[in-house]
Amino acid sequence: MQISFSPCRRDEPLTLSKSGDVLTINGEAFDFSGIPDGASLPREAVSCEFLASDVERVDGVIHLTMILPHGATAPQETLFPEPISAGDGDMELPIYETPALAPESEETP
């Protein structure tokens, strides 16, 4: 499965896992095994707010684009993510935002 991302400032989290042609998005499974090679499933036919494209099968591989939510201080790798070739299991996604730095404590004499 080839997954591209479209970053978007959102508060909702995103978790992805894959098993064969089944992509689980925030706990909901979407089975794309019925898409034949060279065909596509329109984005509107999939009830998922995180899907940002049609779902296509090219040379046996499912291709799609997901919305990648991020926070206000997201790092460059989240704002400009690389596509991933997903194997089975939980997927590691770019971090939501850069952790806030702890304020420096003032020293007293």
Q: Which domain holds residue 52?
A: 2-90
In 3D, which of 50, 64, 62, 43 has the Cα closest to residue 14? 50
The model's confidence at residue 99, banded by pLDDT at 50, 70 and 90, is confident
**55: enclosing H helix or E strand:** strand 55-58
Q: What's the rounded Cα separation, in Å, for the pair 68 and 92?
A: 12
> Measured at the alpha carbon of residue 91, what is the angle toward residues 86 and 94, in degrees to the nearest 5?
105
The structure tokens listed for 82 are: 């690389």
Does residue 15 lie within any of the structural domains? yes
Domain count, the chain: 1
Does residue 103 lie within any of the structural domains? no
The model's confidence at residue 98, banded by pLDDT at 50, 70 and 90, is confident
Does residue 73 lie within any of the structural domains? yes
How far apart are the two ends of the chain, measured CA to CA in Å?
A: 60
Does residue 36 lie within any of the structural domains? yes
Residue 87 pLDDT more than 80?
yes
68 vs 108, higher pLDDT:
68
Q: What's the rounded Cα separation, in Å, for the pair 71 and 94?
A: 11
